[in-house]
Amino acid sequence: MARGGLAEDTVLDVFMSSSTALFTLYPESGVPIYRQLIDQIRRLIVAGQLQAGAELPSVRDLAVEHAVNPMTISKAYALLEAEGLLIRNRGRPMTVAASRRSQRPISQRLRQVEPHLMQLVSAARQLDIPREDVVALLEKRWRP
């Protein structure tokens, strides 16, 4: 067991509705939870999966559902609000701000993913994992 009583391979999924995962949190990834939320919200907005006006889960709901400190969620939301991506609505959920630009081209979205791919490739090479096995794992994880 890792800290907080979670197994090292624990994955926390945050759902937008009962069937659609909005966020996937990896507590033992080494990446702070607030950073994971920020990165995922940015990607969902850029990809057009979170439209302007879409409501995000409340700080309290996310914190309780996934045993995360509410300040962690609040920090992520506050940083995104400072960037102009989210709007705080007193007494109501945070919402996605109206976009000043349309969905970015695939080339720009791929640039956001590239550093993560480089980390994956580097780790796989260091662990002497064949390319085919990494691609097979990616294909497996890509499926819903």
Which domains are assigned to the chain? 3-96 (1.10.10.10), 106-142 (no CATH)
Query: CA-to-CA distance for 4 and 104, rounded, in angstroms?
Result: 38
- The per-residue pLDDT for range 9-65, each reduced to its tens digit, is 444 444 444 334 578 888 888 899 999 999 999 989 888 888 999 999 989 988 887
- The per-residue pLDDT for range 76-106, each reduced to its tens digit, is 999 999 888 999 988 888 999 987 555 567 7
Query: CA-to-CA distance for 77 and 99, rounded, in angstroms?
Result: 17
Please count the other Cβ atoms lying within 10 Å of the Cβ belonging to residue 11: 13
User: Helix/strand/coil (H, E, C) string of 25-88?
Assistant: ECCCCCCCHHHHHHHHHHHHHHCCCCCCCCECCCHHHHHHHHCCCHHHHHHHHHHHHHCCCEEE
Q: What is the pTM of this model?
A: 0.62
